[in-house]
Amino acid sequence: MISLRCVAFLAAGVAGQDCSGKGVTWGPGIAPPPAGCGSGGSGAPTGAGATCTNPTCSSPPCAAPLLGDVGCTTVSGVETYNHELLSAGQEIASNAHIYGPFEAGFTSQQQSIIENWGCSDASVAYDTEGGTDIGTAESKVSHLCNVELPRIVGNTYYGVVGPCGGHTGDYHFHRSFSCLYSETGGHSTKVGVIAGHNIYGKWEDYDNQRLPLLDACGAHIGPTPESSTAVYHYHAQDKAPFTVGCHGPSASGGLVSVATCRSLYSDCDNDGGSGTTIQTKTGSISYDRFCPCFDAAGSNMGTNIQELPALSSTEIYYTVDSNAGDSNGVSSTSTVRFADTSAASGLTWTFAALLCAALGF
């Protein structure tokens, strides 16, 4: 009996369809297949069978891989919208890759994907250097292509990563993990492990609208659903580095400063500190490619570093006083109130200009 795959292949040949671009111009993580070239993937859950290798850090703090696994998920989730090769309702299996904030770059290999975002001339978005975080890359493409990213049209989500925070056939997360935990109750539940330390959803206490104060690695020390004793653990966050900036804790077992984080990476200031000027939809910024250490102002440059509040606060959270928008970039003006501390007693910031710095919305 002739298999259905064979029938499809023969049909493509009769029609003269060129399917030779699989793995280059189409296929998992690139783009859907041309008509007559099959489905481009299997019906298995995305991430199923993926080999995620969790790094180790025997003498912290350590640099986290700039590209590739910084950790692995421990729970599965269900995608809520169609995005690239994923369909709404498709399972994202556990043990999926967790990556850091950076994209490797965009070239002609991603032409179909970029055009699918709504960019009429994909080449304007090409960036062979890479090393920009997902949020900056998305804002840059949005500016260059004059499109809104991310956006939802019907049941389709358009963005560099999907609504759950990841992409490609060999699914890997860059941010959010929104389909891996529920925004209910108190402390967010565990979504993965990062070099021996757990990572959780973004909330320190959802019911009381408390978000965690985090160090440069993306972690802090406090209780978790698994431990009433304070332990070092990571949280997803809606600003870069989104997942992790480094592997902590500090050498003394405490929080990691921005300066210490930067010292772990040769890519930080490897251009002499001049950085790269990147034009985004909100204006131009100076940016240090492949440097995952972001300060309180949302900058990863080595000049005028504004230390993260976690390093000077005796509290581990701040309270969001009003609706701060969703985790996929739909922004709204918000007020953030830090818990009373000796360093930030009663400090309230109403921020529109500092949204990206404080929450990344």
The C-alpha atoms of residue 197 and residue 195 are separated, in whole angstroms, by 6
- The DSSP symbol for 65 reads P
Is residue 311 within 8 Å of 257, Cβ to Cβ? yes
pLDDT the model gives residue 136 = 97
> Beta strand 334-338 with 348-351: parallel, antiparallel or unpaired?
antiparallel
Confidence of residue 42 (pLDDT cuts 50, 70, 90): very low
Closest CA to 241 of 62, 103, 76: 103
pLDDT tens for 245-284 read 999 999 999 999 999 999 999 999 888 888 999 999 999 9
pTM of the model: 0.79
Q: What percentage of the chain exceeds 90 in pLDDT?
A: 71
Q: Which residues pair with 278 in a beta bridge?
A: 285
Closest CA to 257 of 272, 268, 246, 266: 246
Q: Is the pLDDT of residue 198 over 90?
A: yes
For 205, the token pair is 């206490």
95: how many CB neighbours lie within 10 A of its CB? 17
Rounded average pLDDT over 65-85: 96
Is residue 19 within 8 Å of 37, Cβ to Cβ? yes
Closest CA to 63 of 262, 299, 214: 262
For 135, the token pair is 């949020």
Helix extents (H) in the chain: 4-15, 111-116, 134-145, 258-263, 355-358
Closest CA to 292 of 48, 65, 1: 65
- The DSSP symbol for 27 reads B
Sign of CA dihedral 302, 346, 200, 251: positive
For 303, the token pair is 């000049």
Confidence of residue 331 (pLDDT cuts 50, 70, 90): very low
The C-alpha atoms of residue 7 and residue 13 are separated, in whole angstroms, by 10
Confidence of residue 354 (pLDDT cuts 50, 70, 90): very low
The C-alpha atoms of residue 176 and residue 192 are separated, in whole angstroms, by 12
